[in-house]
Structure 1
Amino acid sequence: MTNKIFLALDFPTLDEARSFIDQNELQGVPVKVGMELFYREGPRLIELLKQNGHDIFLDLKLHDIPITVERAMKNLAGLGVDMVNVHALGGGDMIKRAKEGLMAGVAVGVIPKLLAVTILTSMDNHILNREMKIEGNLQDNILHLSELAAKNGADGVVCAAHEAKKIKDMCGKSFLTVTPGIRLAESPDDDQKRVATPAAAREGGADMLVVGRTITNAKEPKAAYEKVEKEWLYGVKL
C-alpha cells in the first residue's frame, strides 16, 4: 500500500470533514484521522469512511504502559483501519505488545500496519535537548528509535522526508516510512519544523505522505491535492 497520499482530516466534527470531502470531490482518497476527530466521533466515523471507500490511517499516537496499549490496540484492530501508530518513546516492550494486540484483535481480514512515531516533526534539536533532556542529536535519536521499532514488530515509522532513506538503510527497504509535514512550495510551514515538498519526499525515499493544511487551507483544495499527487508521482513541480 505504498505511494499513497493520506489527506489529514483535521476537522472538529464529522459533518465538517464529510462536507469538505464532498464539496471538493475527494471521495475515496486515503485519509488520516487524528485525535481531534476520533475522540469526538468515535468508531462511527471509521465505519462511515470505510463505507465510502477510504483507506484509513488512525493517528492516535498511543503512549502508555504496555498492557494498556496492547488492550487498546486489540479494540482498534476490530475497526478495520489500515494503519495505526504508537510513540516509539514508549519503549520496545510497548511496541511489541501493541503489535500483539493488533494481531489478537483481527478476527478476519488484514492486520493493520503498526507505525511508530520517532520524534515529532514539530520538534527540533533544541526542544529535544533543552526541554526534554534527551541527549544526542535529532538524527541519531530518530535512527535509534526506528531500529527499536523495527526490532519489536513495527511495520514502519512516521518520519520527516529527509530521514526516510537512512531509516530504510538501517531497517530494510520493506520498512515503511510515512511522511507528514508535507507542504507545496507556496504553502506556509505553520508549526512544523521539518517540512518537505512532495517532490523532496519522493526523492528522499518516503513510501507514503500525510498532507493536511497545504490542501485543507488552499483556495482550491481539489487542485492542491492533485498538485501534491502529480509532484509526488512524477517528482516534478507542476
Structure 2
Amino acid sequence: MKEELIMDTKERLIVALDLAERERVLGLVSQLHDCCGMFKVGLEPFCNYGPAFVKEIQEAGGRVFLDLKFHDIPRTVAQAGRAAARLGVAMFNVHIAGGREMLRAVVEEVEDETGGKRMPLIIGVTVLTSLGAEELFNDLGIERQPLDQVLFWAEIAKECGLSGVVASPREIAAIRERFGEDFLIVTPGIRPAGSSAGDQKRISTPGEAINAGADYIVVGRPILQAVDSREAARRILREMEESRDERK
C-alpha cells in the first residue's frame, strides 16, 4: 500500500551505491544522507561486505533499499524476505518472474515477521532496463513487447500484495493509468540531461520520470561519478521539484 503522507522531493530520490570500495560508500552516505530518501545496496557491495554493511549505512543516517532481486523457490525467497525485514531495510525487491506462489509467500512471511507494522516495501522487478524487445525475444523467449510484459508482471505483483514494481521510465504512465495511485513505481535508468546512457536501454531524465508519475527514482553513476556528488544530487532534486510544480 502506498504511503499515506505526501513525500518530500528528497524522499523520492534513491542513490544507488553500486561501488565496491567500502570507505568510499560510507563517505558518500555521510555526504548525501540528508538529500535523498534511501540508498540502494545491490549485489556487489552486499556480497563484499554483507548484512553488517547495511547496518553501517543505517547507523550513518541512511535508509536502505536492498536491491538483491530475490528469485528462487517460494520458501527460500520467503525466508530471505524475513531476513531483510529483520535487517530493518525500508525496501527490498523480488523478481515477479518467480511466480505467484513465491510472491505470496514472501508477503505473508514478512507480514508475520513484522506483525504487519513498519513493514519494508516489497517491490517487484519487471523487465530490467538493460533489456529491450530484441533481448526479451532472443535471450528469454518472451514474445511480448517490453511494455506488454511489464504490465503483465505488474498485474501479478498487485494481485499478490506487493507494494509496487520496478519499471523503466517508458512504462510509468501505462502502469499508473492501469493500476492507480496506490501502486508504487520505482524507476531506475535515470540520467540527467547530457549524461551517458551506459548499459541502460530504456532511460529518462529525473523530470520526465516524475512528470510521468514515478514515486521513486534511482540514480547511480551521475551522482557517484560527479566531481561534487552532493551538488549533483541537489541538481537532480531541483529538477524533480520543478517537474512537480509543473504537474500542479
Q: CA deviation at 1:109?
A: 4.7
Q: Write the letter of the residue equivalent to 2:41.
A: V
Residue matched to 1:144: 152
Q: CA deviation at 1:15?
A: 1.6
Residue matched to 1:119: 127
Q: CA deviation at 1:163?
A: 1.0
The answer (yes or no) to whether the contact 1:161–1:205 under 8 Å persists in 2 is no
The 1-side partners of 2:182 and 2:174 are apart by 13
The 2-side partners of 1:108 and 1:158 are apart by 22
The 2-side partners of 1:40 and 1:51 are apart by 19
Q: Write the letter of the residue equivalent to 1:26.
A: L
User: Of 71, 80, 94, which residue of structure 2 is paired with 1:72?
Assistant: 80
Residue matched to 2:203: 195
More divergent stretch after superposition (97-106 vs 62-71): 97-106
TM-score (norm 2): 0.90
Q: Write the letter of the residue equivalent to 2:211.
A: E
The answer (yes or no) to whether the contact 1:76–1:105 under 8 Å persists in 2 is no
Matched, 1:216 2:220: no
Gaps of at least 5 residues in structure 1 are none
Q: CA deviation at 1:108?
A: 8.4
Q: CA deviation at 1:91?
A: 0.9
User: Of 141, 153, 156, which residue of structure 2 is paired with 1:133?
Assistant: 141
Residue matched to 1:11: 19
Residue matched to 1:205: 213
How many pairs does the alignment contain?
A: 234
Q: Write the letter of the residue equivalent to 1:192.
A: Q
The answer (yes or no) to whether the contact 1:13–1:41 under 8 Å persists in 2 is no
User: Of 22, 25, 33, which residue of structure 2 is paired with 1:27?
Assistant: 33
Q: CA deviation at 1:130?
A: 1.4
CA gap of 1:155–1:89, structure 2 versus 1, over 3 A, is same
Q: Write the letter of the residue equivalent to 2:32.
A: L
Cα displacement string for residues 169-196 of structure 1 (whole angstroms, at most 9, x for unaligned residues): 2222110000011101111000000110
TM-score (norm 1): 0.93
The 2-side partners of 1:133 and 1:37 are apart by 31
Percent identity reads 36
Cα displacement string for residues 58-79 of structure 1 (whole angstroms, at most 9, x for unaligned residues): 1000000111101111111101
User: Of 176, 189, 209, which residue of structure 1 is paired with 2:184?
Assistant: 176
The answer (yes or no) to whether the contact 2:157–2:164 under 8 Å persists in 1 is yes
Q: Write the letter of the residue equivalent to 1:49.
A: I
The answer (yes or no) to whether the contact 1:72–1:101 under 8 Å persists in 2 is no
Residue matched to 2:171: 163
Q: Write the letter of the residue equivalent to 2:233.
A: Y
CA gap of 1:230–1:130, structure 2 versus 1, over 3 A, is same
Residue matched to 2:50: 42
More divergent stretch after superposition (150-159 vs 98-107): 98-107
Q: Write the letter of the residue equivalent to 1:122.
A: S
Residue matched to 1:52: 60
Q: Helix, strand or coil for the counterpart of 1:195?
A: coil
More divergent stretch after superposition (94-103 vs 55-64): 94-103
CA gap of 1:21–1:71, structure 2 versus 1, over 3 A, is closer
The answer (yes or no) to whether the contact 2:29–2:62 under 8 Å persists in 1 is no
CA RMSD after TM alignment:
1.6
Matched, 1:234 2:246: no
More divergent stretch after superposition (40-49 vs 192-201): 40-49
User: Of 89, 102, 123, which residue of structure 2 is paired with 1:94?
Assistant: 102
